[in-house]
Structure 1
Amino acid sequence: MYELTLVNGLILVGAGIAAGFINTIAGGGSMLTLPALMLMGMPADIANATNRVGVVMQSVAGLQGFHKHKRLDTSAMMAIVLPTLLGAAAGAILASWLPADILKPVLLGTMIVMALVMVIKPSALSPKEGTQSLSFSEKPSAWLGLFFAGAYGGFLQAGVGFMLLAAIAGGLRYDLVRANALKVFCTFAFSLVALGIFIYNDLVLWIPGLILALGSMIGARLSVNFTVKASMRTLEWILFAMIVLVCVAALFN
């Protein structure tokens, strides 16, 4: 059984702030929050479920921030989230059939490819600010890109934020700020569905989940304020650094 002490609570708030910042600007924040929850004595499945409380609330805070700064393309939200949710359902079904030992190579291979693209041809994943975004009618293949990003998320949650950025920025040519805003919306949709399932199965511990959510929301708002002011080059380097860190974590996990 988990133990909630003042020190553990402070660790959760700190991990939440860091994760909320990282997830909103790139991805990979659960590398911090899951160990923090498990450090309290939670089993992995309970920690995974409880972590979604923070992810949902940081997504809400991030969406509010991006909308306030007029960087959230509300007209594209539903069109973009539909293929990702359909893909997530397909990926979840696929994950139930395939052996668990292939998950790590999938994550590692995907992250390595993205890191190489960021080095060799960064414009493929990071259009310049002000680039005209495309609709699905202009680039139908982008629908498949989002479907496969969703399938990846349903199949393997870790690193899904990077896949969504690749599909939204690389496929539909949104710059990294606007792509991050739409990515946060997709993450919210994913996580809300997952959280509902975890609640139904009574896997969520609400007190540590809400403490984590407090820190995550603070981190998300700080991240939005940073993201809208940072240069595209800075955002590219942060994205690249987080991809490399996820690769390293996957290698040594």
Structure 2
Amino acid sequence: MQLDPAYVVMLLVVGGIAGVVNTLAGGGSNLTLPALMVMGLPADIANATNRVAVLLQSIAGVRGFREHGRLPTTDLKAIVLLTLAGSLFGALLAVALPVSVLKPILLLAMLSMAAIILFFPAVVVPEPGTPVRRVADSWQSKGLLFAAGVYGGFVQAGVGFILIAALAGSLRYDLIRTNALKMLCTGFLTALALVVFVWQDLVAWGPGLVLGLGSVIGTRFGVSMAVKIDQKYLKWFLFIMTLVASAAAMFF
């Protein structure tokens, strides 16, 4: 499709904002999906095209966190394999089912997370020095990581919150390392889902790559913020973005 200069600017700006939001919390796709649909892309094409930007920002985010020494390497295989298994299942579902199927589930999950952050913050934001658990020792993390993969493969928007619940809530990583692992998991599950969408010829590459460029720029800036900001402020940013994403899921 032809890209109007105004749309190019819009995609770069929205992509940049989404890159920052997804790096520090989640829910950036609640900005990028409507932007793609404003251009006239059908919902299924927008959903698939958005994965191009998410994949690029995930690669940029993982690289940035690794450069700062904030990407944990222990237990990566178990974490990634569970999200990949869920992603393949979710992407196949996305070909056959409407996005609205999982919307109530995500909304309930995000509102629950917001309430936990507000009233029981230690559940999602571990105290400094809290021992990290392995996936093999936490049945909750197995279910949450697989569920995050299913949702991420299905629609993407909001998957970061489920990954945060698994990585910080059940495995007890601090928020900075949680965000690093979240980007890694998102990258893998998005790559797998993107293969399915390319196979189905659902990707509009022009808008996807422009959106991706903006997302990469925003992600690099977001990583710089994440490694410097105090976790108590990061916690409140996560809380605010959870509420914003919940509102977006409710009305759109």
Q: Find the counterpart in structure 2 of residue 111 from structure 1.
A: 110
Contact 2:87 2:193 in 1 (8 A): no
Q: Which of 73-82 and 137-146 deviates more?
A: 137-146
User: Superposed, which structure 2 residues align to 1:31-46 within 5 Å?
Assistant: 31-46=30-45
Given the superposition, is the C-alpha separation of residues 91 and 57 from structure 1 closer, same or farther in structure 2, using an over 3 Å criterion? closer
Correspondence for 2:4: 5
Instruction: Flag the 1:244–1:134 CA change in 2: closer, same or farther, 3 A.
Output: same
Give distance in 1, aligned partners of 2:95 and 2:210.
32
Tell me the CA shift for residue 144 of structure 1.
2.9
- Relative to structure 1, the CA distance from residue 79 to residue 242 in structure 2 (aligned partners, 3 Å threshold; closer, same or farther) is same
Partner deviation per Cα, 1:47-80 (whole Å, 9 max, x = no partner) = 2121111100000000000000000012332221
- Compared CA separation, residues 47 and 93, structure 1 to 2 (3 A): closer
Whole-Å Cα distance in 1 between the matches of residues 98 and 217 of structure 2?
38
Counterpart-to-counterpart distance in 1, 2:206 and 2:101: 34
1:153 CA drift (Å):
3.1
* TM-superposed deviation, 1:36: 1.5
Partners of 1:180 and 1:91 lie apart in 2 by 22
Identity score, percent: 50
**AA of the residue aligned to 1:39:** V
In the superposition, relative to structure 1, how do residues 170 and 62 fare at CA in structure 2: closer, same or farther (>3 Å)? same
Is the 2:7–2:39 contact (alpha carbons within 8 Å) kept by the matching residues of 1? yes
The aligned residue for residue 147 of structure 1 is: 146
TM-score (norm 2): 0.92
CA RMSD of superposed structures (Å): 2.1
Q: CA deviation at 1:128?
A: 2.6
Aligned equivalent of 2:199: 200
Q: CA deviation at 1:92?
A: 5.1
User: In the alignment, is residue 64 of structure 1 matched against residue 63 of structure 2?
Assistant: yes
Q: 1:205 to 1:248 in 2, by over 3 A?
A: same
Change (3 A) 1:218 1:135: same
1:100 CA drift (Å): 6.1
Cα separation, partners in 2 of 1:95 and 1:14, compared to 1, 3 Å: closer
CA distance in structure 1 between the aligned counterparts of 2:200 and 2:95, rounded to whole angstroms: 17
Asked if 2 retains the 8 angstrom alpha-carbon contact of 1:57 and 1:217, the reply is yes
Give the secondary structure class of the aligned counterpart of 2:135. Answer: coil
TM-score normalised by L of structure 1: 0.91
Counterpart of 1:244? 243
8 Å contact 1:128–1:232 — kept in the other structure?
no
- Quickly say closer, same or farther: Cα 1:15–1:68, change in 2 above 3 A: same
Q: Which moved more, 1:93-102 or 1:33-42?
A: 93-102
Match for residue 122 of structure 2? 123
Corresponding pairs, count: 252
Shift of 1:160: 1.1
Say if 1:107 and 1:158, in contact at 8 Å, map to a contact too.
no
Q: 1:179-232, CA deviations, whole angstroms, 9 ceiling, x for partnerless residues?
A: 110011110011101111122222222222111111100111100000010011
